[in-house]
Amino acid sequence: MNSATTARPPTTRYHTHRGTGGGPVAEDTEAGRHLDVKIVGAKRTGSHNVGASVPAAMAKRRVAALHRQAATFAAVHSFRRAFSAFNRVLSTAAGNDMSLADMLALQYIAHGHDVTAGDLAKFTGLTSGSVSAMLDRLEAQRFVKRTRGAEDRRRVLIRLAPGALPRIMAIMVGIHEGVDRLFGDLNDKELATLTGLLERLSFEPGAAPSAATG
């Protein structure tokens, strides 16, 4: 007596190809009982299970994961390009010796009272060592000065150096003009969406959102 033939689930032939594109792109095509998956532009690192057969459902998950990975890389690339454009605005207005963290720190010091290095570390997200190096640089450029607290001489306070405020204001005018050019085509809704997305990326995964994100 002939035994009943058990239908085998569709399987996938998994192939890799070196392409000329930017990020990995996944494409799937139904071919009879097989689903062929091509990874176009993927980088050959390690060993690939070329020619192996896997269930179609697993293949579709791989395809979805590759599409997600490609979209994520595209978003990161766009973010880096936008950040580079902003850095060019900053360099044009303030020169190559000043970073975004420097300008944020100067603004914080200008509007603050009895600012300490610890306050700047919390505000900028920099380590204490990086803040110390930044203050050394800003002090050498005569933007800030370190003073001892009147009540507690062990406490070091950061204040603007004499004549620094007009220089900072002139730099900020140039930055605002450059930022207006960068964001001028965005309407209020697009700016709000952009702000919300960047706020969601501004804290580590698993950490509590900042107050700004609600």
Average pLDDT over residues 22-31: 40
DSSP annotation of 157: E
User: Would you say residue 106 lies in a domain?
Assistant: yes
User: Would you say residue 68 lies in a domain?
Assistant: yes
User: Would you say residue 152 lies in a domain?
Assistant: yes
User: Would you say residue 189 lies in a domain?
Assistant: no
- Three-state SS letters, 38-63: EEECCCCCCCCCCCCEEEHHHHHHHH
User: Would you say residue 22 lies in a domain?
Assistant: yes
Average pLDDT over residues 17-40: 41
Average pLDDT over residues 7-20: 43
Q: Answer yes or no: do 111 and 63 share one domain.
A: no
pLDDT of residue 44: 42
Q: Answer yes or no: do 42 and 105 share one domain.
A: no
CA distance 81 to 71: 15
Q: Please measure the distance between the N-terminal and C-terminal CA atoms of the chain and give it in whole angstroms.
A: 70
| 134-184 confidence digits (pLDDT tens) | 999 999 999 999 988 777 777 889 999 999 999 999 998 998 899 898 898
Strands (E) in 50-161, as ranges, are 53-55, 144-148, 156-160
pLDDT of residue 204: 60
Q: Answer yes or no: do 64 and 107 share one domain.
A: no
Distances (CA, A) of 72 to 41, 68, 114: 15, 6, 42
DSSP annotation of 36: E
pLDDT of residue 131: 94
User: Would you say residue 134 lies in a domain?
Assistant: yes
Q: Residue 13 pLDDT > 50, yes or no?
A: no
Provide CB contacts within 8 A for 106, sequence distance 6+. Answer: 138, 143, 144, 160, 164, 168
Q: Answer yes or no: do 58 and 121 share one domain.
A: no
pLDDT of residue 23: 42
pLDDT of residue 9: 45
pLDDT: which is higher, 108 or 97: 108
Phi and psi at 25, nearest 5°, equal -125, 130
Average pLDDT over residues 43-61: 59
Domain termination residue (choose one: 74, 89, 116): 74
**The overall pTM is greater than 0.75:** no
Which structural domain, as residue segments, surrounds residue 69? Answer: 11-74
Q: Answer yes or no: do 114 and 67 share one domain.
A: no
Count: domains in the chain: 2
How much is the mean pLDDT over the chain? 75
* 8: amino acid identity, one letter: R
| 75-84 confidence digits (pLDDT tens) | 889 989 988 8
Q: Answer yes or no: do 20 and 65 share one domain.
A: yes
The greatest distance separating any two alpha carbons of the chain, rounded to the nearest whole angstrom, comes to: 102
Q: Answer yes or no: do 165 and 113 share one domain.
A: yes
pLDDT of residue 205: 58
Domain termination residue (choose one: 154, 171, 188): 171
pLDDT of residue 203: 66
Q: Answer yes or no: do 55 and 102 share one domain.
A: no
Please report which confidence band the pLDDT of residue 53 belongs to, taking 50, 70 and 90 as the band edges.
low
pLDDT of residue 19: 42
User: Would you say residue 176 lies in a domain?
Assistant: no
Q: Answer yes or no: do 19 and 65 share one domain.
A: yes
